[in-house]
Amino acid sequence: MTDGKIGGAALVRNNRNINYSIEGDLMNSKTWPTILTALIAAVTLAACATQQAKAPEKIYGTPGSPSATATISGKQLPPPPDTAFGGKIERDAIDSTPYWPPRVVPPKGAPNILLIITDDAGYGVSSTFGGVIPTPAMDRIAEMGLRYTHFHSTAVCSPTRASLITGRNHHQMGTGSIPELSTGYPGYNAIMTKDKATIARILKGHGYVTSWFGKNHNTPDLQVSKIGPYDQWPIGLGFDYFYGFMGGDTSQWQPGNLVRNTTYIYPFDDDPDFNLITAMADEAIEYMRTVDALNPDQPFFVYYAPGATHAPHHPTPEWIEKISDMHLFDDGWNTLRETIFANQKRLGVIPAEAQLTPWPEDLISPPTWPTPTTRSAASSRRSRIWAGSRCRASICRWRRRCSSTTSGDRTRPIHICRSAGPGPLARRSRGPRW
């Protein structure tokens, strides 16, 4: 397995294919995760590269004043402490000069990063990649940016996320499987060792504020209690703020594993209408509003991981009704498959000469849907409920919120359309608001 190559990949920029090929060992621990996190790092730090090449460290403002700031090269994180006292100490305070070490900040123009990963939503789900479920906010991001159509998947939730936030092979992060199936062997103990930093810790070292909203399925089972330890929680992995749930899934109505930072909370006790997807979007938007209000020049990194499309599926009734009125699944599984395939060809996310895989009738009977049966009716309803969950991910609210802030022009969204599968997209580094 050491000769596996990544090749023939395609990007779609404004519906034009840009072909590239990357030579690498698929099973090597340094290939695909590095490429994936490089996507985040490149978008984030592109504005920093030129300035840091000219000056490894530059001080802004009056040196020694409380408002003095500095940018760093990032060769060592955290940077060496500034132990040199640049002031003057005399017998009398009136004759002395105070001195504060400069505060580390990102270089001017460093972008905000919004990394969104939706759970259990395959490549052909959203309209952005040819699916029938409308995702207009994602469509707009794609039209202004890039669709990535060649994406390595670990095929499991926790390993994908461990790789995504660190740029490393999931076995290097101790996440060969989900924490519930961890073993006492290397690569499978669910422990992220301290010598492997997350992208949040790296950006925090450069002066970013960092936050995580939603699903955290990367903490060992033995450490999710109210008393920690917390070093494997988001707060211990470089994230300044965490609002989300511990584990692989939760109720969207009564999430018993909901946490703010390191404290379990139960907001649904006093709110019969509480819904986690709505609350999570409210929390994240308020967080960005607070950052923007206190310091419009402060770049942020937001990792947003809703769990709505992972079981249990709990969309609100109005979203089930909206999807039902669209009749997206009435024609049955076979017709839906053909429609999505044609849409993907039209968008250029699969080759124009691609052929739809024939149904293996010698192995399994073909689906009879839409033939009216109890089973087909149940399948159609499940699809509508799931689609309602997908649409409730609140991405449109994100778009409106970011567009209304003073920092909206420098916010770079990256959306992974599944926690364990392909389909990322990103807004290019320059252009109109998303």
Q: What pLDDT is recorded for position 393?
A: 52
Dump strand ranges (E) for 42-184: 58-60, 69-71, 103-104, 112-117, 145-148
Q: How far is CA 311 from CA 125, 248, 252, in A?
A: 16, 9, 10
Per residue in 254-288, pLDDT tens?
A: 999 999 999 999 999 999 999 998 899 999 999 99
Q: What pLDDT is recorded for position 397?
A: 64
Q: How far is CA 344 from CA 12, 341, 387, 425, in A?
A: 12, 5, 19, 15
Which of 289-303, 366-380, 416-430 has the least mean pLDDT?
416-430
Q: For residue 293, give the H/E element and its range.
A: helix 276-294
Q: How far apart, in whole angstroms, are the C-alpha atoms of residue 197 and residue 154? A: 20
* CA 87 to mean position of chain CA atoms: 44
pTM for the full model?
A: 0.81
Q: What pLDDT is recorded for position 45?
A: 52
Q: In the chain, pLDDT over 90 holds for what percent of residues?
A: 45
Per residue in 213-257, pLDDT tens?
A: 999 999 999 999 999 999 999 999 999 999 999 999 999 999 999
Tokens of 269: 């006790």
Regarding predicted confidence, which is higher, 25 or 386? 386
In the predicted model, is pLDDT for residue 50 greater than 50?
A: no
Helix (H, G, I), strand (E, B) or coil at 413: strand
The architecture in CATH of the region 6-48+109-317+383-427 reads: 3-Layer(aba) Sandwich (3.40)
